[in-house]
Amino acid sequence: MTTSSPTPQRSPSSPPAAPTVPAAPGPPAGLLRFNAAADADALTTLHAVCASRAWAKRVLAGRPYPRTGELLTASDDALARLTADDLAEAMAGHPPIGRPTPGDATSAREQSGMATAGDRVTADMLALNDAYQRRFGHVFLICATGLTGEQLRDALRARLGNPPEREREIVRTELRGINRIRLTRLAAPPATVSTHILDTSAGRPAPGVTVTLAARAQDTGDWTALGGGTTDADGRCTGLPELPPDTAEARLTFRTGDHLAGRTPGGRAFFPEATIVFAPAPGEHHHLPLLLNPFGYSVYRGS
């Protein structure tokens, strides 16, 4: 004889059980850091996004932001309230297209379309920028991310004929796009890096190899050492530091000499060091395995 437990009965006065609702994802790591930062530090961060002090104060006042979308909406609202003087202050923080300020990694990245522009386009931009500033009294502002040098030049040429009132509102719209891109990057989780080494000559992992990670904010800037680790028995190195938000390029350096010394005639490694430079994407994880042998190595982006 089998018995079964009676089904629990809900009394008429008790409310029905609430359905299970998946928990909403929390703020991304970058936004958490921004929410938790001291006011002075958060203002410095916001001024790097937009030079308008009025905009920065209004966005700061809205912390904490539960989602990136709320941060972007606050930015749009603050921008819509800027006076002409506030807009002028915001524009003053942007260098001319094609002439990013030395050390300004953000503008250099956003204007990267000019880096591959030919001499003719570069010369046109220089002349058109000067004409624009004489006409309107401020820098030509455009959300340059993803645009080629030719597209930037053509947009500048087309806007030269606008009346000042029309151009001011276009500037406000372009600034909205720039701020949104920069804030989204700020709020994103950090880019991360891991690696492992396979010694293809031995058919097994390479343990005990020292790995260091460095980053720089510009393609031609100085490298900043971030930290490192040593490959484990499986050839893996997973404890590498997060990349800074402004990273343009990252560098992995593998000290392979000791591992390869015993596999090279004369006992001296042909490749005492292997260096890999790559361009990380914000918020993504980058796993870069190294395939190593005494006289060659290769690398690829894994998962």
pLDDT category of residue 1 using cuts at 50, 70 and 90: very low
Tokens 């930062």 locate to 37
Is residue 45 assigned to a domain?
Answer: yes
Per-residue pLDDT tens for 279-294? 998 778 999 999 999 9
Place 258 in a pLDDT band, splitting at 50, 70 and 90. Answer: very high
Q: Is the pLDDT of residue 112 over 60?
A: yes
Which tokens in the block code for residue 297? 């190595």
- Structure tokens that stand for 107 in this block: 């503008």
Mean pLDDT value across the chain: 87
The stretch 109-135 carries a mean pLDDT of 88
* Pair 225, 165 in one domain: no
At 19, is the pLDDT very low, low, confident or very high (cuts 50, 70, 90)? very low
- Judgement on whether residues 82 and 147 belong to the same structural domain of the protein: yes
Dist CA 274 CA 215 (whole Å): 16
Both 243 and 267 in one domain: the answer is yes
**CA 182, CA 75: separation in Å to the nearest integer?**
11
Tell whether 16 is covered by a domain.
Answer: no
The verdict on 172 and 227 lying in the same domain is: no
Asked whether the predicted pLDDT for residue 189 surpasses 70, the reply is yes
**Does residue 1 sit within a domain?**
no
Q: Which range among 15-19, 126-130, 214-218, 240-244 shows the weakest confidence by mean pLDDT?
A: 15-19
The residue from 124, 152, 187 where one domain ends is 187
Q: What is the pLDDT of residue 282?
A: 79
Residue 21 pLDDT greater than 60, yes or no: no
194 close to 240: Cβ distance less than 8 angstroms: yes
pLDDT at 58 over 90: yes
Q: Looking at the structure, tell me whether residues 182 and 219 fall in a common domain.
A: no
Decide if 59 is inside a domain: yes
126 and 63, same domain (yes or no): yes
Query: Which of 218 and 39 is assigned the larger pLDDT?
Result: 39
Q: Are 174 and 230 contained in the same domain?
A: no
Question: Which of the four pLDDT bands, split at 50, 70 and 90, describes residue 127?
Answer: very high
pLDDT at residue 97 greater than cutoff 90 = no
Q: Is residue 249 part of a domain?
A: yes
Mark which of 187, 219, 252 sits at the end of a domain: 187
Tell me how far CA of residue 104 lies from CA of 95, 248, 268, in angstroms: 9, 11, 43
Return the pLDDT at 101. Answer: 72
Residue 240 has a pLDDT of 94
Q: What is the CATH number of the domain that holds 240?
A: 2.60.40.180
Over the stretch 61-94, which tens digit does the pLDDT of each residue have? 999 999 999 999 999 999 999 999 999 999 988 8
Which among 172, 254, 170 has a CA at the least distance from the CA of 211?
254
Give the pLDDT score at 6: 46
Q: Do 37 and 181 have their domain in common?
A: yes
Say how many domains are in the chain.
2
* End-of-domain residue from the set 132, 156, 187: 187
Residue 18 confidence (pLDDT): 42
Which pair of tokens denotes residue 15? 């409310």
Same domain (yes/no): 151, 212: no
Task: Let me know whether 196 and 181 are in one domain.
Answer: no
Identify whether residues 139 and 157 lie together within a single domain.
Answer: yes
Residue 263: inside a domain, yes or no? yes
User: Is the predicted pLDDT of residue 12 greater than 90, yes or no?
Assistant: no
Instruction: Give domain status of residue 101, yes or no.
Output: yes
The CA distance from 10 to 116, in Å, is: 71
Res 25: pLDDT: 61
Residues 6+ apart with CB under 8 A from 139: 91, 92, 94, 95, 96, 129, 132, 133
Which is more confidently placed, 179 or 146?
A: 179
Q: Which residues contact 159 (CB under 8 A, 6 or more apart)?
A: 132, 140, 167, 170
Is there a single domain that holds both residue 41 and residue 140? yes
Is 14 part of any domain? no
- CATH number at 108 reads 1.10.3330.10
* Range of the structural domain that residue 201 is part of: 192-299
What is the full DSSP assignment across the chain?
A: ----PPPP---TTSPPPPPP-PPPP---HHHHHHHHS-HHHHHHHHHHH---HHHHHHHHHTPPPSSHHHHHHHHHHHHHT--HHHHHHHHHTSPPTT-PPTT-HHHHHHTGGGTT--HHHHHHHHHHHHHHHHHHSS------TT--HHHHHHHHHHHTTS-HHHHHHHHHHHHHHHHHHHHHHHHSPPPEEEEEEEETTTTEE-TT-EEEEEEESSTTS--EEEEEEE--TTSEE--PPPPPTT-SEEEEEEE-HHHHHTTSGGG--S-S-EEEEE-PPTT-EEE--EEEETTEEEE--B-
